[in-house]
Amino acid sequence: MSAMTDSESDSMLDDGCLLSDKDNVSEESGGWTIVDQMESLDMNGWFSDWECCSDGSDSIGQGMQSLHLNEAVEIYHPQRFVHQRLNPFAEFTRRIRPPRVTCIEEVVRVHVLPLLPAKSLCRFRAVCKGWNQWISNPFLAHQQTMQFRRISGFFCQKPGFYFYFIPLDPPTHCMPNPYLTFMPTRVNIRSICSGLLCVQGVDDIYYICNPVTKKWKMLPNPSFYHGPGTAVSLAFEPLMFNFSQNFELVCAVPVPGSGFVVFEIFSSRSRSWRASEDLCFELANATFIGDGYYWGGSVYWVVDCGVILVFNPRIEQYSIMQLPVGTSTDGNLTEMHGELCYMVALEEGSDIAVHIYGVMDMSSSCRICIPSACSGNPRQVRLMGCVDGDVLVVCIGNVVISHSVSTRETRMLGTDRMLEGCTVMRYLPYVNSLVHVNELPEPYDHRESMEC
C-alpha cells in the first residue's frame, strides 16, 4: 500500500473511516487500527457493539455502553489506538418522524387565549364543551395572569364607600360586577395589583378579591391597630413559578404616641401577619397621600412632607426618596417605558402640560403638552395614570381623554358626570385578569362560611 498524504488522511478521518494500516503508520502516531464494523447504532445516543478486527481476538463493545453520538471516541489499548469520529445526522434524518399536523383550533386555544382579557375568555366558554373545560382550567388562569398585563380601566374611589369602574374599551374590558356587590359588606378599594383587589370593609377588616371571578377571602386581624392614617399596598407578581398566586399585603402603620412607623406584612404563603424589625422614625408625624404603589419588588408611598417612603418586603428594609423639586404631592406614581415615574399634570394657559420625572432619583424630567383643542375651557385637571407605558389618561373636569406619547394622538374616552364636584377622587388602574384568590384560614371559628 502506498503512503497517503496528510490531506488524504485528514479527509478520510473527517468522513469517519480509518484507512491507514498498522504496518504503515509511524511509531509517533501511536499505531492506527482499522475498524471494520460498527453494529447496532442506537438513535438514543448509545453504542451496543464495537469490534476491532486487527487480530481477530479482542472485542471492546463491553466498555462502550455510555458514549454519546456527538462525541469523538478514542479507545486506548496497550497495543492499539482507535479513533472514530461519528456523524449521527444521516441516521437521524433516516429515522425522523414527520411532525404532527396541528389544527388552528389548538393553536388558538394554547397560544391566543392567554393573551385575551378575562371578559373575553368568559364569553368564549360558550364556544364548545372543550373550550369551556380549558378556560375553566387553573393552568389557563395562571397563563393569562402572566401574559395579559394591559390596563383595562380605572376604579374611581370616592370617600364614603362609593366607587365605580371606567373601562377603556367597554366591549372587551368590562366586568360582570364592577360595584363588588358580591362582597359580604360595603367596602372601600385600598389597593390593586395585577388583577387582585385589596378592599376594606366597614368593620376595618381587609379582603382580597377578584371582581371578574367574584372570588374573595377575608384576612385575619393584624397585630397592630390600623387606624385612619395607615397606608397599604398589595404586592403580587404573576410569575411562572408562582402557580399558587401568593401575594403580600404591606401596611405602613403609624403607631400613636410612639414616634415611629411600623411595617406590618400579611403573607398568603405563611397565612399570617408579621412585623418588620426595621422601624421608620423620620416620618412619625407625617401623613400618607393615598395608598402605596407596588413596582419592582418594592412599595412606594407619597408623604405630605415631600418625600417618597420606599419599603422592600423581601429584605424588610425601608428608604426615603425626595420628590422632584418644585412639584406637588398630588401627582401619580406609575410605570412608563419600564421605569418608575412620578407624573404631575398642570394647567398652563389653555393647554395641559404633564411633567414626568423618571429614574430612581426622580431627577430627569419630560414635559408633554396636550393641545388646547382637547382640553377646552380651563377646568380642574387630574391625572389618572399611564396605560401600557405610553398612553396618558387625564381627567379634565368630567371629560376623560387619552394621549399617546409616541404618536401624539389624543382622543376623548367619555364623559362622566360623577367626577364633578369631587376633589379627592382616587384613580386605581385595573388589569382584567383571571387570577385565582388563594385559600386562606378562618380568622375565627364562629365566622359564617364564606363564598368560595
Higher pLDDT, 450 or 98: 98
pLDDT band at 47; cut points 50, 70, 90: very low
* Separation CA 297–CA 275 (nearest Å): 18
Higher-confidence position of 118 and 356: 356
User: Is residue 443 over pLDDT 60?
Assistant: no
**Mean predicted confidence (pLDDT) in 328-337:** 86
Contacts of 46 (CB under 8 A, 6+ apart): 65, 66, 67, 68
Contact 421, 379 (CB under 8 A): no
Residue 271 has pLDDT above 80, yes or no: yes
pLDDT at position 281 is: 92
The three three-digit cell numbers of residue 159, written as one number: 370617600
What is the model's pLDDT at position 96?
56
Of 39-48, 99-108, 270-279, 397-406, give the lowest mean pLDDT range.
39-48
CB count in 10 Å sphere of residue 447? 9
Which segment of 9-23, 100-114, 341-355 scores lowest on mean pLDDT?
A: 9-23
If 0-12 CB within 10 Å is exposed, 13-18 middle and 19+ buried, where does residue 124 land? middle
Please give the mean pLDDT across all residues of the chain: 74
Q: In what order do the strands lie in the sheet with 426-431?
A: 162-167, 151-158, 426-431
Which pLDDT does position 205 carry in this prediction? 94
Residue 233 has pLDDT above 90, yes or no: yes
Confidence band for 68, pLDDT divided at 50, 70 and 90? very low
Lowest-confidence pick of 35-49, 139-153, 330-344: 35-49
* Per-residue pLDDT, 8: 47
Asked whether the whole model's pTM tops 0.75, one would answer no
Give the pLDDT score at 86.
Answer: 54
Pairing mode of beta strands 381-387, 364-370 = unpaired
DSSP annotation string for 188-257: EEEEEETTEEEEEETTS-EEEEETTTTEEEEPPPPSS---TT-EEEEE----TT-TT---EEEEEEEPTT
- pLDDT 10s digits, 420-432: 666 678 889 999 8
> By percentage, how much of the chain surpasses pLDDT 90?
23
Span 334-349, mean pLDDT?
84
Residues 6+ apart with CB under 8 A from 257: none
Which residues lie across from 164 on neighbouring strands? 156
Number of neighbouring beta carbons within 10 Å of residue 70: 10
